[in-house]
Amino acid sequence: MTKQILCIVHQETSTAGLVGQLLQQKGYNLNLCCPALGDRLPPTLDDYAGAIAFGGPMSANDDKTLPFIRTELDWLSVPLAAEKPFLGICLGAQMLARSLGGRVAPHPEDVREIGYFPLQATASGSALFSPLTHVYHWHSEGFTLPQDAVLLAQGETFLNQAFRYGNNAYGLQFHPEMTQEMLNFWTTQGAEQLSLTGAQTRSHQFQNHARYSPHVAAWLDNFLEIWLNS
């Protein structure tokens, strides 16, 4: 079995964070691919054990102005058809939802989720998501649940937080990959967004990261095992 994971990122500074660290600890090699910078997505996943699409500041609706978004939306048929493990995180989850017929849009009151916020497992997701109480967010848009997808976890501001499509594809609105280094970088580079409605202060985010990140890391390690064997 191949031990390589395709990691689709959306900026030159993007990393796979804690997700990548845990996968490498499990013996997987990471192939970072950035279509926004001209990297080509593979026509098949024959050389990969799975694929992950990470977040980014752009919108899943930007396919008219950012051609790589259209390319990624179309490419999602590849992992879905191959029934290989696929994981979408934030923007990646929104693109997965949109490619399956869901709608991606801002909060009707223009509220953001930036920082750690509560997560509630649904009945369908209780076995997998009940250990999580708070997870990290940085987004202004959410998604509607695609037809035939199973809602696994919900939030207060943006209802749909995690879903599964088929047996192999998962979408997470939140960022389980967040590390302290990433938190420092994001809250520094995106400092102007911390004054927006729904954003937590930088100090509050660091306090919550110290409080909640060990629980997220333990959950993520288990989740990745389940995902890789889906």
What digits encode the pLDDT tens for the residues 97-141?
Answer: 999 999 999 999 999 999 999 999 999 999 999 999 999 999 999
Domain of 196: which CATH number?
3.40.50.880
**Per-residue pLDDT for 207 more than 80?**
yes
83 is catalytic: no
Residue 142 tokens, joined: 């959410």
Report which of 12, 7, 10, 18 is spatially closest to residue 181, judged by C-alpha positions.
18
Could you confirm whether 204 is annotated as catalytic?
no
Say which amino acid occupies 213: S
Q: Grade residue 11 by pLDDT with cuts at 50, 70 and 90.
A: very high
What is the average pLDDT across 198-207? 98
Torsion of the alpha carbons at 193, 22, 43 and 165, rounded to the nearest 10: -70
Sign of CA dihedral 178, 92, 85, 12: negative
Question: Which one is catalytic: 134, 137, 175, 209?
Answer: 175
Beta strands in 100-227 (DSSP E): 104-106, 113-118, 120-121, 134-139, 141-143, 150-154, 160-165, 169-172
Secondary structure of residue 159 in the 3-state scheme: coil
Task: Say which amino acid occupies 117.
Answer: F
Longest dimension (CA), the chain: 47
Q: Which domain holds residue 203?
A: 4-228
Cβ neighbours of residue 198 closer than 8 Å, sequence gap 6 or more: 107, 111, 112, 113, 114, 157
Residue 86: predicted pLDDT: 98
Annotated catalytic residue 175 = yes
The total number of structural domains in the chain stands at 1
Q: Which of 134, 223, 102 is nearest to 170 (CA)?
A: 223
Site of tokens 């909060």 = 107
> What pLDDT score was predicted for residue 230?
84
Whether 176 shows a pLDDT value over 80: the answer reads yes
The predicted model gives 172-179 an average pLDDT of 98
Q: Which of 134, 141, 177, 209 is catalytic?
A: 177
- 213: its two tokens: 């990140």
For residues 117 and 145, the answer to whether their CB atoms sit within 8 Å is no
For the whole prediction, is pTM greater than 0.85? Answer: yes
User: Which one of the listed residues 72, 90, 113, 209 is annotated catalytic?
Assistant: 90
CB 79 within 8 A of CB 36: no
Q: Is the pLDDT of residue 1 over 80?
A: no
| Residue 162 banded pLDDT, cuts 50, 70, 90 | very high
The pLDDT assigned to 2 comes to 73
